[in-house]
Amino acid sequence: MRSVRSAVPLSGCALFLALFAAGCREAAPTLPDTPSVSSAISASRISLEIFVDAATGDDAAGNGSAAFPFRTISRGLQAGSSGMTVTVRPGIYSPATGESFPLRLKDGLTLRGAAAETVTIDGAGAAVVLEDAPQARIEQLTVRGGGQAGMVLGFSSTAALCALRQNFRGVVCESSASVEDCLIENNSDTGIYIRGSAAPAVRRNVIRGNGGEGVECREDSAPLLRGNDIRENQKHGVVCTDSASPLLQENTITQNVLPEVYVLFGARPTLSGNIIRDNARYNIDDARSPGQGEISALGNTWNDPQPSGTISGPADSRPNYFIKEAGNSIRFSGGAAAVRRRRLS
């Protein structure tokens, strides 16, 4: 049997622990209300979009929100950063509305119009209207009035669903950018001008009615031109010059005033699966310097029956296939049937 001496300390210890626990329960803080995960995400999304409205916006009093937009794209781009979208509401944005050119994007920023039919950026003769940045996107805008270019792409960016018209050159590309699903028309010189060591992907665009070439590939450029409609340009459909090596796949190149595909100097394009026909002169003109070797033209559809070998003609004649200098050739093979087989495979 335990003694009274040993029992008292135990009872006191139990009482102390009970009182301590009660005190802890009384002192436990009440946590404040916190927003739900979904509302936090919604707030984050809202903060990633900046609005611009030439009609109702205000660069001084606005904060870029949907209710209080900025007036100019210039201010919206200044406020934006990587991962954000500057949304441009319908209107014409020009020096008259406070814009200063060129408009320069930031890394990872998206500039998006409500629709190319309703949002126009007018450079009003400024040398360049828009300049890109790494991983930037330009979408759903009409760009016009560039004295040298509507858009200059110098980085790995994307231009999509835009209209480029009434510039000197529609797009100048110096990089591995993507130009997709755009309408590039009625520029006074070239639709798309590709230079340097650029290797852009030019896909599914309509390039028509330009005062010069539809597409010009210069220097060491190596673009992919796929699925474009290149027509009714006042000079050539596609020019390949210097040491350019473009890959032309599944384009329709038709009704241009000068040769549809014009090859100069040491250029060496590869043509596959294209429809090339109905131009005012030659479908393809190999005017390279002597001894540049062979151009590959596989599985294309031409006006006349597919040739089987090297075809040449004098400068004053009008053959569909024209090889001007000695030591060069074009290897033709396949045709419409070959294209169909390849597409089904």
Model pLDDT for residues 174-231, shown as the tens digit of each residue: 999 999 999 999 999 999 999 999 999 999 999 999 999 999 999 999 999 999 999 9
Model pLDDT for residues 297-324, shown as the tens digit of each residue: 888 888 765 555 555 544 444 456 677 7
The model's confidence at residue 338, banded by pLDDT at 50, 70 and 90, is very low
Q: Counting beta carbons within 10 angstroms of the beta carbon of residue 2, is it exposed (0 to 12), middle (13 to 18) or buried (19 or more)? A: exposed
Model pLDDT for residues 247-299, shown as the tens digit of each residue: 999 999 999 998 889 999 999 999 999 999 887 777 888 888 888 888 888 88
Cα 231 to Cα 91, 208, 256, 261, distances in angstroms = 30, 5, 5, 12
Beta-bridge mates of residue 171: 151, 192
Domain locations along the chain: 114-344
The residue among 334 and 49 whose pLDDT is bigger is: 49
Q: What is the DSSP letter of 31?
A: P
- Which candidate, 192, 182, 193, 176, places its Cα nearest to that of 159? 182
The pTM assigned to this predicted structure is 0.82
Mean per-residue pLDDT for 322-342?
61
Mean per-residue pLDDT for 124-132?
98
User: Under CATH, domain 114-344 is a member of which superfamily?
Assistant: Single-stranded right-handed beta-helix, Pectin lyase-like (2.160.20.10)
Q: In the structure encoding, which two tokens stand for residue 282, read together? A: 């030659």
Would you state the pLDDT for residue 47?
62
pLDDT of residue 15 exceeding 70, the answer is no
- What span, in angstroms and rounded, lies between the C-alpha atoms of 235 and 101? 30
